């Protein structure tokens, strides 16, 4: 399966990655290989087979609506951000 340059750029844009020219070429080739490999599954006739959403046959896994103390506090979490200001995460301007 052929992956066009435009599709690579579209995907990198969606993921907010900037790619070098070299990466555009090499990732394109990689993606083509991966998708061609996975596409072998298309040969199977799956008519009437229910899609597999998950491999554990569990249902209704939920918890009660009770507040629990958190181990990581605000300072610990903000310390992970590249930049913080006024107890908030500082990011380049977005609109």
Partner 1 sequence: MSNKYQITIGIECHVQLATKTKLFSEVDNDARGKAPNTCVSPVDYALPGMLPRLNRTAIEMAIKVGHALNATINPLSRFDRKHYYYPDLPKGYQISQLYQPIIGAGQIELPDGTKVRIEHAHLEEDAGKLTHFGDYSLVDLNRAGTPLIEIVSMPDIHSAKHAHDYCKELWRIMTYAGVCHGDLYHGNMRFDVNISLALPDAEKLGTRAEIKNLNSFRSVERAVEYEYQRQSALLDRGERVVQETRGWSDDTGKTTSQRSKEEAQDYRYMPEPDIPPIRLSNETIAKIQATLPLMPADYRARFAGVIPADTLEILLDYPQLIRKLGEFADLLGENSPKSIQKIANIFTSVLLAEENTSLLNDPLPSAEQLRDLALMNDNQELSSTATKEVFLKFFDPEMHFKDTKTIAKELGVIQENDLDALGQIVDQVLQDPTTQQAQADFRAGQEKVLGFLVGQVMKASRGKANPSSAQALLRQKLQN
Which residues make up the interface to partner 1 (CB under 8 A)? Answer: 10, 13-16, 51, 53-54, 56, 58-68, 70-72, 74, 77-78, 80, 85-95
Task: Give the shortest CB-94-to-partner 1 separation in angstroms.
Answer: 5
Residue bearing tokens 């199977």: 44
- 3-class state of residue 85 by DSSP: strand
CA 59 to chain centre: 24
Task: Give the shortest CB-48-to-partner 1 separation in angstroms.
Answer: 18
Task: Give the shortest CB-12-to-partner 1 separation in angstroms.
Answer: 11
Instruction: Choose between 13 and 36: whose C-beta lies nearer to partner 1.
Output: 13
Instruction: Choose between 22 and 64: whose C-beta lies nearer to partner 1.
Output: 64
Cα–Cα distance measured from residue 51 to residue 40, given in angstroms and rounded to the nearest whole number:
17
Nearest to 14 by CA among 6, 23, 3, 22: 6
């Amino acid at each position: 399966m052929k992956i066009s340059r435009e599709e690579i750029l579209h995907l990198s844009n969606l993921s907010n990655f900037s790619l070098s020219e070299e990466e555009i070429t090499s990732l394109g080739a990689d993606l083509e290989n991966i998708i061609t490999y996975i596409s072998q599954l298309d040969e199977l006739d799956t008519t009437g087979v229910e899609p597999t959403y998950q491999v554990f046959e569990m249902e209704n896994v939920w918890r009660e609506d009770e507040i629990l103390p958190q181990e990581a506090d605000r300072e610990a979490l903000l310390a992970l951000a590249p930049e913080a200001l006024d107890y908030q995460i500082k990011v380049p301007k977005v609109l």
